[in-house]
Amino acid sequence: MTVLVLVEHDGGAVDELSLQALTFARSLGEPEVMLVGGADAVERLDVATAHVAEDERLALYAPGAWASALGEVIDRVAPAAVVAAGTNRGNEVLAHLAARRDLPLAANCTAVVAENSAGGAGAEGGGLLTVTRVRWGGSLLEEARVHSQLPLLSVAPHALPAAVGEGAPAVERFAPAVDDADLLVRVAEHVDEVTAGISLAEAKVVVSGGRGVGSADGFGILEELAALLDAAVGCSRVVTSAGWRPHTDQVGQTGTKVSPDLYIACGISGATQHIAGCKGAKKILAINSDAEAPILANADYAVIGDLTAIVPAITAELRKARSP
């Protein structure tokens, strides 16, 4: 059966989270994709067909218009399910679609099983899917059943590997029927953020600090370590609330969700909201003076002690190991 996937892209490159959503979709059937513009991005997509909506008014993002375009493709291909990455845009577009068509939306899914083998999801009379969803900021997993003729599913970030491979999909361009009401809410301008160094979202190593760092000046030793590791510097919400670091550095449920090879948490207690942002890391090293800090339950490695002594000691050992 066909599964329709909303794919996001930027500068001709498909978003990594959309590739993860494509992996998820393959567990349900044969995916086809829809993109808003970006026909040059489809070469990385190993699918049979790519539906490309072409309208310059949609280029910067208009959730209602994107949902309208997605609805046109649904009417054309009659998919068994619709999948999107669990990004702000993916969830919002699916929410618009759910409201317009009176359909249920299961957000932040990590796994799915089709239970109705006789009809399958999307069959006449409705299908039955069992989904596993991330809930409460990542503190628990919920198993739920979705009864719908057209299940709408968004995929939790960093829960699955990205689909790899290149293809030569048939590109079907179309001009979506967009009316003024679809454009009432839209992005008018995109301003690139000026950042120094490696971005949190792309860093292979993140050195992050919390309340235990003590002050804005206390991040100096973390920045020194990060420079040696080619790492990005992050922080917890309490740090941004105190004005020690900008919100763009925040890792967490209301900040950036990261998935580095190594996440070094310095003086971070490990609130549920913070863990939701860093649990995608392959390894977590916690440095904390509190042996009972909640983050230790999620850490692969822990050093208990004063971070103002431990972090400089790690930096010194790295310098010593790299010296000729």
Q: For 184-213, how does the pLDDT look when each residue is reduced to its tens digit (9 = 90+)?
A: 999 888 776 656 668 888 899 999 999 999
Digit-coded pLDDT (tens) for 213-238: 999 999 999 999 999 999 999 999 99
pLDDT given for residue 127 in this prediction? 66
Fold for 2-183, please state it.
Answer: Rossmann fold (3.40.50)
pLDDT given for residue 280 in this prediction? 87
For the domain spanning 205-322, the CATH number is 3.40.50.1220
pLDDT given for residue 266 in this prediction? 98
Digit-coded pLDDT (tens) for 115-145: 754 444 443 345 689 999 988 766 678 999 9
pTM, to two decimals: 0.73
Digit-coded pLDDT (tens) for 152-177: 999 998 888 998 777 788 999 999 99
For 162, the token pair is 């990205």
Name the band, by pLDDT with cuts 50, 70 and 90, for residue 284. Answer: very high
pLDDT given for residue 41 in this prediction? 84
DSSP string for residues in 228-254: HHT-EEEE-HHHHHTTSS-GGGBBSTT
- Hey, how many other C-beta atoms are within 10 angstroms of the C-beta on 307? 24
Which residue, among 248, 115, 135, 169, has the nearest Cα to 7 in the 3D structure? 169
Cα 67 to Cα 35: distance, rounded to the nearest angstrom: 11
Measured in degrees and rounded to the nearest 5, phi and psi for residue 199 equal -75, 150
Radius of gyration of the chain (CA): 22
pLDDT given for residue 125 in this prediction? 40
Digit-coded pLDDT (tens) for 296-308: 999 999 999 999 9
- Regarding predicted confidence, which is higher, 85 or 11? 85
- Regarding predicted confidence, which is higher, 11 or 310? 310
Query: Do the bridges between strand 105-114 and strand 152-155 make them parallel or antiparallel, or are there none, so unpaired?
Result: parallel
What residue spans define the domains of the chain?
2-183, 205-322
pLDDT given for residue 137 in this prediction? 67
State what percent of residues in the chain have pLDDT above 70. Answer: 94
Digit-coded pLDDT (tens) for 24-73: 999 999 999 999 998 888 877 889 999 999 998 888 899 999 999 999 99
